[in-house]
Amino acid sequence: MRLFRHYDGLPPDATGAVVAIGNFDGVHRGHRIVIGAAGDIARATGKPLGVLTFEPHPKRIFQPDAPPFRLSSLRTKAHQMELLGVDCLYVMQFHKAFAEIPAENFVIDILVSGFGVSHVVVGEDFVFGHKRAGDVQLLRELARRFDFQITRVFTQREPDGTVIASRRIRQLLIEGKPAEAAKLLGRYWEIGGRVEHGDAVGRTLGFPTANLPLGDYQRPKAGIYAIRAGIDEGAQTVWRDGVASLGWRPTFAGRDLRFEAHLFDFSGDLYGKHLRVALIEYLREERKFDGIEPLIAQMQKDSAEARAVLADAARFAAPGFKLG
């Protein structure tokens, strides 16, 4: 997969694609239907499969003071796109000037003149352009004028009527329900980043941890989680079981929210490496302990419970419960 951050001067083999357009935050099952529809058309017509997305997320521009909400970083998004067979990932920088591009100009200047799209695939409620003035109807009208095709994919729902949507996944994470979020995502939700130096308290307790920056990631429910951690080893990701804490460390009078992952039976140096941590199951809420010994005893119980959860191999073989 090739990644492009511009639409002008593209090489000829990166133009004329069937392009799915959207934010695709989380690349959940609903997003995969949209991208999959574009892929089917691309294979049938012999065209490249492209995805057009935007960074930063437009919400961060329109609501700069909004609390963290991202389900996936660009790195995670790109990784998932590659797994879906995307040939060209077009990442447009989203800023106020971009947001002010009139809807018709977005189509003419970017989609037609820039990407030379052969076919555009969008979700049911797709809107675009200045003040969200463009919709699927306008896109169809412009497609007829400029000789490209349009496919509209309707919102995906679970059998019980639940809409597969990023906002629903965020709410499930806030409620401490990562397994339910995974069903909508089609994979376990991950926090990814480069391991930072902490205060080494975990090491002194016999539970060394890898500290990950939370950045603009959605904050899940604070507490203790059974996890699987993926360590980048060149082109491979090596997955290890573990347990993680998301919280303020009340036993140590902590004041900042931290995400700390302990990997079972691992003694290597992780500082500076990129780590992917998948939340598998919520174990308990964070609480303050009266001293170090009760804390260590509880950490041992947490580790044993996490090992038991992660030993359930059938869980990871089931559809919608996978890593990668």
The per-residue pLDDT for range 243-272, each reduced to its tens digit, is 999 998 777 767 789 999 999 999 888 888
**Whole-angstrom Cα distance, residue 248 to residue 7?**
44
* Interacting residues of 79 by C-beta distance below 8 A, sequence separation 6+: none
Full-model pTM: 0.91
Rg (CA), the chain: 22
User: Domain 189-317: what homologous superfamily?
Assistant: Riboflavin kinase-like (2.40.30.30)
What is the residue-level pLDDT of the chain in tens, covering all 324 positions?
A: 999 999 999 999 999 999 999 999 999 999 999 999 999 999 999 999 999 999 999 999 999 999 999 999 999 999 999 999 999 999 999 999 999 999 999 999 999 999 999 999 999 999 999 999 999 999 999 999 999 999 999 988 888 888 899 999 999 999 999 999 999 999 999 999 999 887 666 666 778 889 999 999 999 999 999 999 998 766 678 889 999 999 987 777 677 899 999 999 998 888 888 999 999 999 999 988 888 898 999 999 999 999 999 997 545 544 344 544
Q: Distance between CA atoms of 304 and 296, rounded to whole angstroms?
A: 12
Q: Which two tokens stand for residue 264?
A: 């079972």
> Do 19 and 115 form a contact (C-beta atoms < 8 A)?
yes
Tokens of 48: 């490249």
Q: What angle do CA 306, 307, 310 make, to 5 degrees?
A: 85
Examine domains 2-153 and 189-317 and report if their fold is the same.
no
Domain residue ranges of the chain, discontinuous segments joined by +: 2-153, 189-317
Fold classification of 2-153 (topology level): Rossmann fold (3.40.50)
- Catalytic pick among 260, 281, 286, 293: 260
- Return d(Cα 188, Cα 181) in angstroms, integer: 8
190 is catalytic: no
Q: Burial level of 220, CB count in 10 A (0-12/13-18/19+)?
A: buried
For position 320, what pLDDT does the model report? 43
Q: Which two tokens stand for residue 67?
A: 């609390």
Q: Quote the pLDDT of residue 231.
A: 87
What is the rounded CA–CA span in Å between residue 298 and residue 247?
15
Q: Mind listing the pLDDT tens digit for each residue in 77-96?
A: 999 999 999 999 999 999 99
Residue type, 319: P
Q: What is the DSSP letter of 5?
A: S
Residue 238, Cβ neighbours under 10 Å: how many?
Answer: 11
